[in-house]
Amino acid sequence: MRSGILYNVSLPGNYSGIDVSILRIRIASLWHNGANVSFFDIPPRILPNPISTRLNFVYQNLGNLSDFYYNVPSYTFITPVMGLLAYDANSRIKSNGMVELRSLRDHPILVHFPEISSSRVGKNSMDMTTMKCVRFGTNGEVEFGNVTTTNKCIAQGQGHFSIVIPSQPPQSPIPKRKDRKWKWWVIGFGVGIGGLVLYVVCGILLYKFIRKKRIAKMERQSEKSEALGTIWVGSSRMPLATGIRTQPILENSDVS
């Protein structure tokens, strides 16, 4: 592997969507000129700990597998998670060989994110106050920072980086218009049945009232005429004459 050349690494099929590149660089060149590793800009005047003569920078872009490897509670990734790790190029293959990389505060490492996921962007996600840079350190620590410029974050060391926004709470489903129509149909049907019952009850009461008035009128008229006796036959009251005014006389009868 030659120094100063960025090599792309071929990965197995189960890592499809992840990009990995390696850049080997001499410490003297890094100290004087810095380095550009894909989307990471490393400034000059930076040294690894422990000191080595050459470094291997490993760049990772986790792509659509970012959510699988990393998670930030109450936040949503709007960029892929990208990583920058430094290894001692002189270490043995079987050993880890990772070195600590720290930059000066006045000359931080810049991380540029090529794209923002439009499918995860909310109405106010482009507001710089809601966007946060997040760094996953090599020891498991999680650090937040502000986005300095569009799609850029600053870092004082190596690790994995991304831009996140606060997760929005799930919205309650909007009732369908068909459900609303069905509800109004049920209400209208109930009101119609209630009105019909009320109409029938009022009709029955009115009929009884008129019938009672007619009976009372007939009784008053009968009182004005000649009084007749009455007799009850079953549940009905019938007129009955109490006496006969003229005695009947038989015609052509002999009186002895």
- pLDDT of 56-77, one tens digit each? 999 999 998 999 999 999 999 9
What would the mean pLDDT of 6-35 be, rounded to a whole number? 90
- What is the distance between the alpha carbons of residues 148 and 138, in angstroms, rounded to a whole number? 23
85 exposure class (CB count in 10 Å sphere: 0-12, 13-18, 19+): middle
* Residue 124: per-residue pLDDT: 44
Please say if the pLDDT value at position 210 is more than 80.
no
Residue of 220 and 130 predicted with greater confidence:
130
Establish if 33 belongs to a structural domain. Answer: yes
Considering its fold, how many domains does the chain have in total? 1
DSSP secondary structure letters along 193-244: HHHHHHHHHHHHHHHHHHHHHHHHHHHHHHHHS---EEEEETTEEEEE----
- The CATH number given to whatever domain includes residue 35 is 2.60.220
Identify the residue with better confidence: 39 or 128: 39
- The pLDDT of residue 245 is 54
Res. 88: pLDDT tops 70: yes
**Average pLDDT, integer, range 84-112:** 80
Q: Which residues constitute the domain of residue 106?
A: 6-166
* Mean pLDDT in residue range 160-188: 72
Strand partners, 112: 152
Give the global pTM: 0.62
Q: Is residue 204 situated within a structural domain?
A: no
